[in-house]
Amino acid sequence: MRGLIAIRPSAALLSADLFHLAYRRHLPLLGRRSPIVPLRTPNSGGRQLATISAMASASKAEDARVPPALQLALPPVSKFKIALCQLSVTPDKDRNIAHARKAIEEAASKGAQLVLLPEIWNSPYSNDSFPVYAEDIEAGGDAAPSFTMLSDVARSLQITIVGGSIPERSGGHLYNTCCILGTDGKLKGKHRKIHLFDIDIPGKITFKESKTLTAGEHPTIVDTDVGRIGVGICYDIRFQELAMLYAARGNLHINVGAHLICYPGAFNMTTGPLHWELLQRARAVDNQLFVATCSPARDTGAGYTAWGHSTLVGPFGEVIATTEHEETTIVEEIDYSLIELRRSNLPMGSQRRGDLYQLVDVQRLKSQ
């Protein structure tokens, strides 16, 4: 089987309901619903069985994305201002809601057309707090005061809000959920954190969101007055496949990829200094688009201490604006013309090797 790259399912082949990343070379075409083809690969002098989905051999760049990547649409605006509201969070939910509203209003007064809030801005970040502070977003009104505030202020100020995240209660489950509100105050999309934060770094930090939260099932990209926005929450930023998917397709109802990915997040004092900026710049430069993040302000007296450092990154991986750990709001301009400029400087989209690797958008493929 010379020329084949065998992928061990336990290590290198990612297959899920959201996306599937396969490395291949010169595999025979066996149809759309290809059977699994066994490959024999050497391993420490022996032969080990591995499997990989058989796909068509191709050298065209568009074959590196299955279905093929869609063209970037002309955004409704070429330039606009975004605000990153790095908020302090307390155990007082009413105070947190009023405080967030004030920050949004101040950002809009400075010309912001898009406002991004932090992860879990209405509640302390803890498994004990999530059930207590959770809201029924679908019910709205008194059952969802945080969501209701976001809807009211988006409509009154005629701005777009990527509403950080709040604990959501739905169907007997709890989710870490980001609501995206349009200029009319209506819910344009809702992202439930796909990758739950379950980590253990001995002597540093241990946290397991899955003790209380349920993982989301769908990538989220929305069409707004300031362009097409993909959304991830905190730990989602570590999974480059999700950002690649956003850049390649949008969602099942939007026929082009994102201009901007927003990640409300609350990295901690262990991983924050090492990975927070690194991951933002990686997601931006890998996909040649804008990335915006927003963290809560640091509170060393809280049970969970956030790193802070909310940041806006451009499509060349450049840090356009950032802050330290204290409460503050960044208002900065996004110029979408930089996306096309950088994609012409480094034409990666036309240089991918569809004969060697593919990102398979499983949901989009199933919808066809």
CB atoms within 10 A of CB 17: 10
Both tokens assigned to 364: 């989009």
Q: Write the pLDDT tens digit of every residue in 207-265.
A: 999 999 999 999 999 999 999 999 999 999 999 999 999 998 744 444 468 999 999 99
C-alpha 13, offset from chain centre: 21
Q: Write the pLDDT tens digit of every residue in 98-123.
A: 999 999 999 999 999 999 999 999 99
CA triple 327-311-157, angle to 5 deg: 70
List 81, 93, 119, 168, catalytic entry: 119
Q: What is the pLDDT of residue 22?
A: 56
CA distance 232 to 196: 11
In three-state secondary structure terms, 294 is strand
Q: What is the pLDDT of residue 20?
A: 58
Mean pLDDT value across residues 178-185:
98
Pairing verdict, β 79-86 and 65-66: unpaired
CA distance 361 to 363: 6
Pairing verdict, β 20-23 and 357-360: antiparallel
What is the value of pTM for the model shown?
0.84
* Alpha carbon separation from 258 to 55, 88, 162, 222, 228 (Å, rounded): 27, 30, 14, 8, 5
Q: Inter-axis angle of helices 277-287 and 240-249, to 10 degrees?
A: 30
Ramachandran angles phi, psi of 129, nearest 5°: -85, -30
List 85, 168, 193, 262, catalytic entry: 193
Q: Write the pLDDT tens digit of every residue in 124-134.
A: 999 999 999 99
119 is catalytic: yes
CA distance 29 to 275: 40
Mean pLDDT for the chain overall: 85
* Residue 342 pLDDT greater than 60, yes or no: yes
Q: Write the pLDDT tens digit of every residue in 286-334.
A: 999 999 999 999 999 999 999 999 999 999 999 999 999 999 999 999 9
Pairing verdict, β 260-264 and 227-231: parallel
* Cβ partners under 8 Å of residue 246, min gap 6: 219, 221, 230, 257, 258, 261, 287
